[in-house]
Structure 1
Amino acid sequence: MTDKIIVGWREILSLPELGIETIKAKIDTGARSSCLHTFKLETFERDSELWVRFWVHPLQNNNDFIKECEAKVLDQRMVKDSGGHEEQRFVIQTMLKFNKEEWPIEMTLTNRENMLFRMLLGRTAMQNKIIVDPTVSFLIS
């Protein structure tokens, strides 16, 4: 991909490897890492590797629709949120589908129940592929 995608400050994304076809995300240039809302999480071992099973409410304002996901744990990191609070989070890698393009991103898992967006797309995931226009929303169909 040679051209950059111009996006608004919020967009509809897809996480196909997790079976999440649509999720509204805040495109957050102030956040280094991306994160996904999980309201329940459990670890397990598969082929001698650490995996995580987690449950997501991918549709904003809809706690009735639940998506159960699994992913191999890439890392565990201390992450500081916008309020300055540090939290140990699991990090996974998954594919991001955006504007008919796909690329792998790292994402932390955390409970965002009280936050407006179920997902934040941080700077690292933008990988010099995205330009954000903060004055608009939902430019990508």
Structure 2
Amino acid sequence: MNTTTEPLMLGWREWVALPGLKVPALKCKVDTGARSSALHAFSVVPFERGGETWVRFGLHPNQQETETELWCEAKVLDKRNVTDSGGNVTERYFIQTEVMIGSQCFSIELSLTSRDTMMFRMLLGREAMRKRFVVDPGASYLQPLAGLTSADEPKATSL
């Protein structure tokens, strides 16, 4: 865990892990224009557990590939309307889970939505970044991801 008061530098895309959902590695678009964070999800099915609403959903963790599937379950935090970048309003489930970026692991809210047509399976919005990170839009993969070998992990690059 980063204990310094200096925010970490992120590029416009980073590797993240979602340990609470057992997702070891996911390429994520860092988007300061988006308020909330979003995670790709398909076959989202609500169910009851212990008197609380949960969701079970599938996730295609790899970019531009839908054969690999991970199945996740999470307690529903909320269900609310979200306006996407095209101005379309959709009702989405929100969950809360841990995200690991570089040396930091912290809890964030994620909306669940289909991102199969998007380049990145996860979008990190500014609420999750607030007071933790600064973004260099000309760089990529500035933070290492624990668990990836040096052969798997892309090197920091600039555009």
The 3-state SS of whatever aligns with 1:107 is: strand
Distance 1:56 1:100 in 2: 24
Distance in 1 (alpha carbons) for counterparts of 2:131 and 2:80 = 23
Partner of 1:106: 109
Match of residue 139 from structure 2? 136
Question: What pairs up with 1:114-125 in 2 under 5 angstroms?
Answer: 114-125=117-128
Tell me whether 1:71 sits opposite 2:74 in the alignment. yes
Map 1:1-141 onto structure 2 (within 5 A). 1=3, 2-141=5-144
- The alpha-carbon deviation at position 127 of structure 1 amounts to 2.7
Paired amino acid for 2:138: T
* Identity over aligned pairs, percent: 48
Amino acid paired to 2:109: E
Unaligned runs of 5+ in 1: none
* CA distance in 2: counterparts of 1:14 and 1:54, whole angstroms: 17
CA shift for structure 1 position 14:
0.4
What TM-score do the two structures reach when normalised by structure 1?
0.97
Which residue identity does 2:99 align to in structure 1?
L
4+ residue stretches of structure 1 with deviation over 4 A?
none
Measure the CA separation in 1 of the matches of 2:62 and 2:129: 22
Q: Report how far residue 92 of structure 1 moved.
A: 0.2
Preserved contact between residue 64 and residue 116 of structure 2 (Cα < 8 Å): no
Which amino acid is 1:41 matched to?
Answer: V
Q: Which moved more, 1:58-67 or 1:72-81?
A: 58-67
Task: Give the CA deviation at 1:101.
Answer: 1.3
> 1: distance between equivalents of 2:67 and 2:105?
28
